[in-house]
Homo-oligomer: A and B are copies of this chain.
Amino acid sequence: MEIAARRLEAELENIPLVDPHSHINPHAPAAKSLTDLLGYHYYTELAHAAGMPRADLDLHGWPLVEKLGRWLPALANTVQYGWLVQLAQTFFGYDKETIGPADVAGLFDAVAQRTATPNWPDEVFRKTNLEAIFLTNDFDDPLEGFDTARYVPCLRTDDLVFKWDQPAVQARFTKATAIEATSLSLFLDGLGMLFERFVAKGARACAISLPPDFEPVRPDEVESEEGFDRLVRDRGSFDDLRMVGYRIFYALADRCEEFNLPFDLMIGVRRNVYEGGAFQGTDLFDQRTSLYQYRRLFNEKPRVKFPVSVLTHMQNQELVAYSWIFPNVLPCGHWWYSNIPTYIDADLRARLEAVPAGKQIGYYSDAYKLEFVLPKFAMYRRSLANVLLRDFVLARGWSEERALELGKAVLRDNVLDVFGRPGPRGSHS
């Protein structure tokens, strides 16, 4: 059984990847030093959780790496540490099974040397068998200076929905659209311009992350306008911000429908729970949340595809059930705190057993640097191979070929079908 599972895994490795969600900076997509890799929030937050003083995390370059190196043995059991070892071995000629305090200096040099080679990102793409990767672009990102068929723009909208009361956000909006959004109507005009720009640049999705208590209702139009006015004039009340946020959220859904863009919902994150945490290591969740909160949206927008990520394993059954009932709800990836084999195994299995295969976006890397795409997808492929073997080949008598086709659908084909093939919009199948 182990042999057959690894055979399936090897076959899955031959399938070129299109990674439908990441935080890659297309102007600096790969690491330039070990700092870029060890500085990933997983390592800083885990090291801090293990005891590394918060102040040490404000170091940079070699001093940061040297400190973090001392804490690596404390994380050696985690799968995130496993990603680091695997990428060191694959990309930087590292040949040990562990990385400890005595190893980081050598690895630091190796990373500096290798990443300095011309076309290093291309080499990472090649070794990763990666064709294209989706980005997370702020609404005011000019989207200039990179190949959008390889680095696929994606409009991230958290700031518009949750921070519209902030003058800085309003100013960015004005700068990006040349529209001073002093009214809801003007805001909506500007939003249309942003969608046009993103779509023209090959954007393939709109995306947002949402807190556990978000329960969107399309607000009354007159009330929305009045609340919007108060927010812009004097930052309004908490209720104004929530109502205007819901109104903007629905405006995004309207535009997604108009421009035929999937709207990625990333559900469940509670921001800034640990105020003294590492950079990007302060967010957690509250398990008390339900997809039932989105019933109005799903009913109102049947023509918008909603690839949904849930932050918790507990919510995966809701995701399975809502995807099996709603044509426009699609299970998407294994996000953040659910991105460990324990939860991937169970969540993936339930999806494969009860959601039509063609709707499932299997996995995305969520990576900040390209080097992490490989070990993260490797972790996913291992779970996928195990589930395909055990629950389809063995339990249901499928041939390995048929199981592999299913794996290919969730790993690659559906990404292209749901979001469209990366590149200029005309090539959207």
Q: What is A's interface to B at a CB cutoff of 8 Å?
A: 2, 45-46, 48-51, 74-80, 82, 97, 270, 273-277, 281-282, 284-292, 295, 298-299, 302, 312-315, 317-318, 320-327, 337-338, 340-343, 346, 349-350, 352-359, 382, 391-392, 394-398, 406
Contact = CB atoms under 8 A, between A and B. Distances in A.
Contact of A327 (B50, B337, B340): B50
Given A356-B77, A359-B50, A284 B396 contact: no
A162 B340 CA distance: 38
B318 A285 contact: yes
The 6 closest A-B pairs by CB, nearest first: A50-B356, A286-B292, A342-B350, A77-B357, A286-B290, A321-B337
| Copies of this chain per assembly | 3
A152 B323 CA distance: 35
A324 B76 CA distance: 13
A76 B395 CA distance: 15
A80 B247 CA distance: 39
26 contacts: A45-B325, A46-B324, A48-B327, A49-B324, A49-B326, A49-B355, A51-B327, A75-B357, A77-B356, A77-B392, A97-B398, A274-B295, A274-B299, A274-B325, A275-B299, A284-B291, A285-B321, A287-B318, A288-B288, A314-B314, A317-B337, A317-B338, A337-B354, A340-B353, A341-B391, A382-B395
Contacts of A314: 287, 314, 317
A273 B295 CA distance: 6
A315 B284 CA distance: 13
Given A75-B356, A79-B353, A284 B49 contact: no
A353 B357 contact: no
A354 B338 CA distance: 10
A357 B394 CA distance: 29
